[in-house]
Structure 1
Amino acid sequence: MQIIKVINNNVISSEDDKGKEIVVMGKGIGFGKKAGEEIDETKIEKIFSLPDESTSQFMQVVKDMPYEYIRTAELVIAYARETLGYHLNKNIYVTLTDHLGYAIERKRQGIVIANELSWEMKKFYNAEFQVGLKALDIVKQELDVELPEDEAGFIAMHLVNAQMGGQMNQSRNMPAMIKDILNIVRYTFQVELDEKSLSYERFVTHLRFFVQRVISREDSERNDEEFDQLIADRFPRSYECAQKIKNYMKKKLDYEVSDVEISYLAVHIHRVIHSMNK
């Protein structure tokens, strides 16, 4: 395997057997090397490929970054993949590595940036937030740098973004949107939802994927007027509440949520409200 480009002493690029550019990492793997030379395979610690547009971005991010930072970011990403159990867009190597690098440098310079969405991330994306907390432990263990808990929220946001395929601006809006939707339900039914109940957890899980589908424009396009009318007749208040949420999403995203998606949402609203009345 030959070197295509030397990024720094610890990161180089090469090609796989299909001619696709790959990133090769390892302590000292690029030291004193030039393009065209053979790679010392004993120094390889990680090989991965990125979408073409992301490869140059990653190389730019790590060009002047200490190898310990890059390796720590890789440990965090590997832990996230193993723990969360869902697909993460490969762009996470660019975004999270870049974020952690700056976060570590800010900490060492005494600069603190508050995360205004930390509470919402912990509440609505707890699995990702817990991975963020573990990431702080990994950074502490590997680099002896203690990042503030707010960073767990930022890391969780990057993981949610990677799950959505890289739409970072929209994923930042998701926790606040879920909070707003829950408030619409509370105000419509004049109730206080039991946040410790299983039905509430299920409802929030549905909202997470509902908002994600709408933001990604992947909500159901299937038309079923008979089903919609059935739900409207059986659960009129829940259907009315779902229509309010549809109007909210229209104003927030300038996008019309499909009727069948709203009908399913009404069913979930009915379930969480009905469970409180048992």
Structure 2
Amino acid sequence: MRIKKIFNNNVVLTENDNQVEIVVMGRGLAFQKKVGEEIDGSKVEKTFVIHSKNLSDKLSELLKEIPSDHLELSNDIIELAKRELDCHLNETIYLSLTDHIHFMLTRMQEGLTVRNPLLWEIKKFYKDEYQVANHAVQMIEKRTGIQLPDDEKASIALHLFNARKGSSGMEQTMKMTKIVNGITQIVKYHFGRAFDEESTNYNRFTTHLRYFAYRMIRGEVSDGDSDNSLFEQVSRQYSDAYQCTMKVQSYLKVNYSFEMSKEEMVYFIIHIHRLYSREKTE
């Protein structure tokens, strides 16, 4: 591989035979090297293949400003997430998470702690991502010696969820979290009881809510109506869940100018009834 751009002695940009750009890392990899020269393959420790040209350009700009060990930390966390979540992550995570880790460590060294207002919600609704983020923070603390607050676990978890679902950005992910939290609070106060947040029933319900909010923000929620007879049937049969669903409908309309179709309302009525009835029985 020939050097296309040198970021520092340890990080260079190369290109393979298919003209795909690859960021390559290794101690002293670019020492006394120039653009166009071959790199010593025995010194290569890590490689980052970026298929998007636009993303590659942005990552190249970022690498001019940050230490190579921040990129290495980010990559190790991404690999950890892929294993533990058993999923594909959007390539944008290499840019967003690397930038976040650099900014986070810079802030912490300057004594600036930023609170994450969604910490509680993220711990509750994105348990898998938060668990990975917890391991990631342990990794960062071990390598840097910098102690991080739980707020940073929540921020990393949001980056992972954002890349895992392929949504449009962090702002939308946070909006989705607020929607889910708002709906669960409505259900809680409507029935006047706290649900077991560790139960299978509750996890099943919040999973439905997360995907609903995800589709809602992306404009993918069904705008069609189900069979009116089915809607009328579940409304009568599960009247309490129906009343709760109407409160959810009002909340979404007032706060997000969104109106659920009858098809979505049917699903909500059934899910809410199942949650309440099973939790009540247990």
- Establish whether TM, by shorter chain, passes 0.5: yes
The 1:238–1:8 alpha-carbon spacing in structure 2 relative to 1, beyond 3 Å, is same
Q: Any idea what SS the aligned residue of 1:170 has?
A: helix
Query: Deviations for 1:175-218, whole angstroms, at most 9, x for unmatched residues?
Result: 32222101111233333323343211221222122212212223
CA distance in 1, matches of 2:255, 2:197: 25
TM-superposed CA distance for 1:80, in Å, is: 1.0
TM-superposed CA distance for 1:143, in Å, is: 2.1
TM-superposed CA distance for 1:63, in Å, is: 1.3
Query: Deviations for 1:39-79, whole angstroms, at most 9, x for unmatched residues?
Result: 32222212321422221221222212112221111111111
Candidates 214, 219, 226, aligned match of 1:212: 214
CA distance in 1, matches of 2:9, 2:206: 46
Alpha-carbon RMSD: 2.2
CA distance in 2, matches of 1:196, 1:162: 25
TM-superposed CA distance for 1:102, in Å, is: 1.3
Candidates 266, 269, 273, aligned match of 1:266: 269
CA distance in 2, matches of 1:134, 1:244: 38
CA distance in 1, matches of 2:26, 2:277: 56
Answer with 94-103 or 21-30: which moved more: 21-30
Answer with 140-149 or 23-32: which moved more: 23-32
Cα pair 1:186 1:192 within 8 Å, conserved = yes
Equivalences for 1:146-161 in 2 at 5 Å? 146-161=147-162
Candidates 224, 227, 240, aligned match of 1:225: 227
Cα pair 1:8 1:64 within 8 Å, conserved = no
TM-superposed CA distance for 1:155, in Å, is: 0.6
Aligned pair count reads 278
Equivalences for 1:91-240 in 2 at 5 Å? 91-165=92-166, 166-220=168-222, 223-226=225-228, 227-240=230-243
Cα pair 1:114 1:150 within 8 Å, conserved = yes
Q: Please list every run of 5 or more consecutive structure 1 residues that lacks an aligned counterpart in the other structure.
A: none
Query: Deviations for 1:66-122, whole angstroms, at most 9, x for unmatched residues?
Result: 122211111111111111122221111111111111111222222211222112111
Cα pair 1:220 1:261 within 8 Å, conserved = yes
Cα pair 1:242 1:265 within 8 Å, conserved = yes
Equivalences for 1:36-75 in 2 at 5 Å? 36-44=36-44, 45-75=46-76
State the percentage of identical aligned residues.
36
Give the letter aligned to residue 197 of structure 2: E
CA distance in 2, matches of 1:69, 1:277: 49
Which residue does 2:13 correspond to in 1? 13
The 1:9–1:245 alpha-carbon spacing in structure 2 relative to 1, beyond 3 Å, is farther
Which residue does 2:80 correspond to in 1? 79
Give the letter aligned to residue 157 of structure 1: L
CA distance in 2, matches of 1:233, 1:54: 53
Cα pair 1:131 1:156 within 8 Å, conserved = yes
CA distance in 2, matches of 1:206, 1:67: 40
Cα pair 1:10 1:25 within 8 Å, conserved = yes
Cα pair 1:215 1:253 within 8 Å, conserved = no
Which residue does 1:247 correspond to in 2? 250
CA distance in 2, matches of 1:168, 1:121: 13
Give the letter aligned to residue 147 of structure 1: L
Q: Any idea what SS the aligned residue of 1:82 has?
A: helix
Cα pair 1:14 1:22 within 8 Å, conserved = yes
Structure 2 length normalisation: TM-score? 0.88
CA distance in 2, matches of 1:19, 1:168: 31
Structure 1 length normalisation: TM-score? 0.90
Q: Please list every run of 5 or more consecutive structure 2 residues that lacks an aligned counterpart in the other structure.
A: none
